[in-house]
Amino acid sequence: MKKWIESLLPWSKKYNPTHKKESKRQTNNGKGKKKNTDIGWVTPSSIETTLPPTPQFNKDMLPEPLSEYVFHNAAQLDNAAPEFAAVAVVVCAAALIGGSAQICPKDENKGWKVKPILWGMIIANPSMMKTPSARVGLGPFERSKHDVIDKLNNQRQAEYNNEANFVEAKVARLNEKAKKLLASGSEEAAKELFNEANELALAPPALRNPLINDCTVEALVMRLESNPYGVLMFRDELYGWLSQLEKKERAHERALYLEAYNGNGSYTQERVSRDNVVLKNPTVSVLGNIQPSMLNSFLLERSSGSSNDGLFERFQLAVYSDSHNSRYTDIPDNEVNDNRVIELFSCLSMMGENEETVTLNFDADAQGLWTEWASEHKKRELKASADDQAVLGKYAALVAKLSLVFHLVEEAAICDDFESFHPELVVQKQSLGLAIRWSNFLYLHSVRIRAIGQNSQGSETAKLILERFGQLKSPFALRDVQRKGWKGLKTIDDCNAAITVLTNKGYIAPLNVEGKNGRVTNRYEIHPDYVG
């Protein structure tokens, strides 16, 4: 496994974090506490978290013209990391397709079908252009919604209004005749006319609106009712949404999102005053941003919780770049390419007009590559750690999804008129090759993201205590920290990990203090520069 990971990083140095050795602080084994001047304080060293590196995102990892579009816009955004915009564009494209298409990756077993439902997460510090990068994908998504979906909605509404006027007049005549029959004593004949009038009632048209932001679960269910092929939920700040779904009282909402990620089940919303709502194949794509510190706080809270249903792991298109070459830029727009991408997204918007979900397969060459890759990937998965298996186990479906999206993007790119978009239903080797490259790229980002919680648990909780030294009386006991109930410091293990880091870095020094009863207890003296 280690050799395989290193093979994915030919352009980067092997990840080999170093750990600084810290000299042990003096402790007081006698009675009473030791004074600050007796400890021999030195300047504390910084608390840093070393994370694995990530690979470079290259232009040949996207179909044309998406590649030119993504890199041009990233450069305009003061040279933002192009993978941020790439994730946004791919998730938004996949969301327009939603449940309108699916792929059978295997050659013989056609029972396994995968829909292109993707969840994307852009992880970066403030001022790293997270939101503008997300707009690179949301821009053409919203434009195609305006140009295609809203136009079709208006047509459907106009047709419904015309038909409704006709039906209303006809129902009025039938009801009038029925009343006359009833008045004359012909009850059976009147019943027939009343029934005929009721059967003429028209259901309002389902108006598509595939973009949703902050919403209640009830509002989401209503939106999914009129968008059977799915919606895209964009959250500029994912932390609040993720944290809310960790609460026990939000279990029903969490269940809906888990079901909507698969896109092949059902969800029932029970109502007291109205009829229950049953959603068939609910589909929700997700795109959002989060800061590393907020993600770390979420991971720390999650580590002490009980949820382990894989909701967070569904963010497979999650990127946390190793380095940024941000700098001021002043680059003109590329309207020609922008319009090409809008036209491309308009083609994908038409997929939502399919009466049935279309099914795609690999051609012979792509099928051979799939079988070879999937076989080797399964071997890697079986040899991996339990933590890695939780990630790699979902990568076969991820590669199939990305293959489908890239193929439909390629087909849309050569379509002259979005209204006549009818893509070939055979996915070629080129699209599968791109998807495999993405899986390698995303895996290394996954390693880095998971390291936030794994490698930094002690470091990040140590920072939490460091920021709150003013709320502790020096010397303090371990239980004094635990009783505060600070985020990420609610268990004895969390507190011990943080105290170890603070001691090794020189912010505190351990003391053995003898109390009035003669019992020796452990205390920690705070560095004099950080007291008060």
Nearest to 292 by CA among 144, 153, 150, 455: 455
Give the residue-averaged pLDDT of 324-345. Answer: 94
Give the residue-averaged pLDDT of 452-472. Answer: 78
Here the tokens at position 471 are 């709320």
Question: In angstroms, what is the C-alpha Rg of the chain?
Answer: 30
- Sequence-distant (6+) residues with CB within 8 A of 407 are 360, 423, 427, 428, 431
Beta bridge partners of 524: 476, 510
Nearest to 366 by CA among 94, 106, 60, 62: 106
Q: Which of 99-113, 329-343, 479-493 has the lowest mean pLDDT?
A: 479-493
Three-state secondary structure call for residue 157 = helix
Name the burial class of residue 252, with classes exposed (0-12), middle (13-18) and buried (19+) by CB atoms within 10 angstroms of its CB.
Answer: exposed
- State in Å, rounded, how far the first CA of the chain is from the last one: 48
Beta bridge partners of 231: 284
pLDDT on residue 22: 38
- Quickly state the pLDDT bin for 95 (edges 50, 70, 90): very high
> What does the CA dihedral 480, 244, 399, 342 come to, rounded to 10 degrees?
-130
pLDDT on residue 307: 57
Does residue 530 surpass a pLDDT of 70?
yes
Does residue 288 surpass a pLDDT of 80?
yes
pLDDT on residue 201: 80
Does residue 328 surpass a pLDDT of 90?
yes
Does residue 28 surpass a pLDDT of 50?
no
pLDDT on residue 391: 92
Instruction: Give the Cα separation of 305 and 457 in Å (integer).
Output: 15
Q: Which of 190-204, 249-263, 457-471 has the lowest mean pLDDT?
A: 457-471
- Quickly state the pLDDT bin for 12 (edges 50, 70, 90): very low
Per-chain mean pLDDT for the chain: 87
Count other Cβ atoms within 10 Å, centred on residue 396.
20
What's the chain's length in residues? 532
pLDDT on residue 5: 60
pLDDT tens digits, 198-212: 888 888 898 999 999
Name the burial class of residue 361, with classes exposed (0-12), middle (13-18) and buried (19+) by CB atoms within 10 angstroms of its CB.
Answer: middle
Q: Which of 173-177, 189-193, 276-280, 490-494 has the lowest mean pLDDT?
A: 490-494
pLDDT on residue 21: 36
- The winner for highest mean pLDDT among 304-313, 328-337, 507-516 is 328-337
What DSSP designation does 145 have?
I
Three-state secondary structure call for residue 113 = coil
Does residue 4 surpass a pLDDT of 50?
yes
